[in-house]
């Protein structure tokens, strides 16, 4: 295998592995409800849907250090949620995660109780004020909503916001003032459409349901699957939520009761994703508090791990998570020192290149040897013409004489491909790079280079690499290798700047290493010729 074919093989292999990994994430078969159901059933049924609609009540504005939220007294729903420390996609204003007013997106968090006379997400609550703001000396902010008392049952619903956190406690205080015991159920669900936040055609991203249990670990559920059949899974623990690129909302029940995870198709484009579990018996004259956590914010590993077991898996690096997570850990620690994500990517690239320096050197040394004998290879081709058998025998004899392994440059490069793919997913999926500036014209490493400077430079480095490699003897390969840098440059026009920066730096380091080895091998060849004379 000559060097040109090797390069084409590596590029093709790398592309196939990227496509395969992406396909695995989106199309891998999910366990059926029967496969993941636990032995002990949950008797509570999910909320009934009689025509999907959102009631309208009084809007309550809530402002904390992390959120700007809107709660509707109709159902006590969380109807709007903006993340104050994260910019909108266009950079204007805070990022709106939840909304019930956008024409392009529906994203609402709901809760309710099931039982005679108990408030569902259709109930009208009352509140003491129409706006709340977390003060500088407050660590928590409570918004208390009160449902009308029915059948002697009094219910308050409380949202508790925490300073510096993307976790909201949602509590129900249930007082049984009746003369008989009650056994209600509590449900938590997220309403979302199936069209928004799907990424671009060039860079599609996953938006859909997800759940985690200790028994079955992390699973994703696409809207297409929900449309075909409702999910209904019994579990003893875990959480359920809505995952999208960079952000996640997840309901995490705090009780130890068994629960059911479910999905429901509400309309042609709208779905509910939720969990329901029994509260237990509440005797006459007694009360009970039921609580859950709603994590709603960016996919930052440390925050996810601190909130609930398995929540960190929403940062999905695919089948190479075992490599990707340590890379992200290292990248984060580098950023703690240099305080710039672009510089952190450069430093990480240098460290990875250093780790594979000796392994890469063996591959480049093999290429350099092939470069040195390229004229002799062309002479053999001219001599034997179309007699492929004699040409192959002569080439193998030359390899043996010169002690060159034609496959010697392949293995070192293939070994590095999993690391390259892992870093690809790290840079593509890390919310830390979203709107993170590098310098000059690059003010968002998660977006494309606005002036395409990095992709063009990367194409230039690929052209330089072709000159450092042995020239191909096959004219078709020669034409392909000339076109490759142009095609890859155009392809990388649509990639995030942080990812292109990594490839550019990696190419520059590869050029330096290959150039140095070429000079060394060429000097050795000249010395050998001089000695032979």
pLDDT above 70: percentage of residues in the chain: 82
50: in domain: no
24: in domain: no
Span of 45-59, 274-288, 330-344, 359-373 with lowest mean pLDDT: 359-373
Give the C-alpha separation, 125 to 143, whole Å. 12
Count of structural domains within the chain? 2
Give the C-alpha separation, 215 to 217, whole Å. 6
Residues 376 and 269 in one domain: no
Q: How confident is the model at residue 378 (pLDDT cuts 50, 70, 90)?
A: confident
332: in domain: yes
Residues 181 and 289 in one domain: yes
Q: Which of 291, 316, 341 is the last residue of a domain?
A: 316
- pLDDT for the residue 411: 60
Condensed to tens digits (0 to 9), the pLDDT of residues 279-317 reads: 999 999 999 999 999 999 999 999 999 999 999 999 988
- pLDDT for the residue 363: 67
- pLDDT for the residue 144: 98
49: in domain: no
Residues 252 and 283 in one domain: yes
Residues 283 and 429 in one domain: no
Residue 36 has pLDDT above 90, yes or no: no
Residues 408 and 427 in one domain: yes
Residues 194 and 97 in one domain: yes
For residue 314, give the DSSP letter: G
Residues 75 and 36 in one domain: yes
132: in domain: yes
Average pLDDT, stretch 247-258? 95
26: in domain: no
Residues 229 and 362 in one domain: no
pLDDT above 90: percentage of residues in the chain: 57
- Residue of 416 and 174 predicted with greater confidence: 174
Residues 240 and 331 in one domain: no
Give the C-alpha separation, 109 to 75, whole Å. 10
Q: Which of 264, 294, 316 is the last residue of a domain?
A: 316
Residues 245 and 370 in one domain: no
Q: Which residue is listed with tokens 């330096």?
A: 512
Burial of 169 (0-12, 13-18, 19+ CB in 10 A): middle
Condensed to tens digits (0 to 9), the pLDDT of residues 77-89 reads: 999 999 999 999 8
Span of 127-131, 214-218, 436-440, 485-489 with lowest mean pLDDT: 485-489
Condensed to tens digits (0 to 9), the pLDDT of residues 468-525 reads: 776 665 667 667 777 777 777 787 888 889 989 998 998 899 898 888 877 776 676 6
- pLDDT for the residue 377: 74
Average pLDDT, stretch 9-29? 46
Average pLDDT, stretch 68-75? 98
pTM of the model: 0.83
Q: What is the CATH number of the domain that holds 211?
A: 2.70.98.90
11: in domain: yes
Torsion of CA 440, 443, 444, 445, to 10 degrees: 30
Residues 301 and 339 in one domain: no
Q: Which of 256, 285, 316 is the last residue of a domain?
A: 316
Q: Domain of 442?
A: 3-19+326-532
Average pLDDT, stretch 196-204? 74
Q: How confident is the model at residue 383 (pLDDT cuts 50, 70, 90)?
A: confident
25: in domain: no
Residues 348 and 303 in one domain: no
DSSP per position, 129-155: -SEEE--TT-SEEEEEEEPPPBTTEEE
């Amino acid at each position: 295998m000559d060097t040109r074919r090797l390069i084409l093989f590596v590029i093709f292999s790398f592309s196939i592995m990227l496509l395969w990994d992406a396909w695995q994430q989106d199309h891998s078969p999910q366990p059926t409800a029967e496969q993941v159901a636990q032995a002990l059933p949950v008797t509570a049924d999910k909320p009934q849907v009689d025509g999907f609609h959102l009631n309208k009540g009084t809007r309550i504005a809530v402002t904390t250090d992390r959120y700007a939220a809107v709660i509707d007294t109709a159902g006590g729903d969380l109807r709007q949620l903006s993340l104050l420390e994260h910019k909108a996609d266009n950079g204007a204003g805070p990022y709106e995660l939840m909304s019930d007013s956008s024409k392009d997106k529906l994203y609402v968090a709901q809760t309710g109780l099931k039982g005679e006379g108990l408030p569902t997400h259709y109930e009208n609550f009352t509140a003491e004020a129409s706006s709340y703001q977390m003060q500088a000396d407050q660590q928590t902010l409570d918004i208390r909503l009160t449902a009308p008392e029915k059948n002697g049952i009094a219910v308050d619903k409380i949202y508790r916001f925490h300073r510096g956190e993307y976790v909201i406690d949602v509590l129900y205080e249930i007082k049984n003032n009746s003369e008989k015991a009650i056994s209600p159920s509590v449900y938590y669900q997220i309403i979302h459409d199936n069209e928004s936040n799907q990424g671009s055609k060039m860079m599609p991203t996953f938006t859909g349901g997800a759940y985690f249990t200790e028994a079955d670990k992390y699973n994703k559920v696409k809207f297409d699957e929900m449309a075909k059949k409702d999910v209904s899974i019994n579990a003893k623990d875990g959480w359920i939520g809505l995952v999208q690129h960079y952000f996640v909302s997840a309901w995490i029940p705090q009780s130890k009761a068994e629960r059911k995870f479910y999905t429901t198709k509400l309309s042609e484009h709208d779905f509910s994703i939720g969990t329901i579990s029994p509260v237990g018996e509440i005797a006459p004259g007694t009360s009970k508090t039921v609580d859950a956590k709603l994590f709603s914010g960016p996919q930052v590993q440390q925050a996810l791990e601190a909130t609930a077991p398995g929540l960190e898996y929403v940062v999905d690096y695919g089948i190479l998570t075992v490599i990707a997570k340590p890379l992200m850990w290292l990248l984060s620690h580098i950023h703690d020192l240099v305080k710039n994500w672009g510089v952190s990517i450069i430093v990480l690239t240098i460290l990875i290149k250093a780790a594979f320096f000796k392994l890469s050197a063996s591959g480049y040394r093999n290429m350099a040897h092939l470069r040195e004998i390229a004229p002799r290879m062309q002479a053999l081709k001219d001599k034997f013409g179309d007699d492929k058998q004699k040409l192959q025998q002569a080439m193998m004899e030359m390899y043996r004489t010169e002690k060159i392994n034609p496959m010697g440059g392949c293995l070192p490069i293939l070994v590095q491909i999993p690391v390259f793919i892992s870093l690809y997913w790290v840079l593509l999926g890390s919310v830390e790079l979203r709107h993170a500036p590098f310098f000059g014209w690059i003010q968002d490493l998660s977006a494309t280079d606005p002036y395409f400077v990095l992709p063009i430079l990367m194409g230039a480095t690929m052209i330089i690499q072709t000159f450092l490699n042995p020239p191909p003897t096959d004219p078709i390969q020669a034409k392909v290798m000339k076109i490759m840098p142009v095609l890859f440059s155009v392809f990388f026009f649509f990639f995030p700047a942080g990812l292109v920066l990594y490839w550019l730096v990696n190419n520059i380091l590869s050029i330096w290493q290959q150039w140095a080895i070429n000079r060394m091998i060429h000097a050795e060849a000249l010395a050998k010729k001089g000695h032979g004379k």
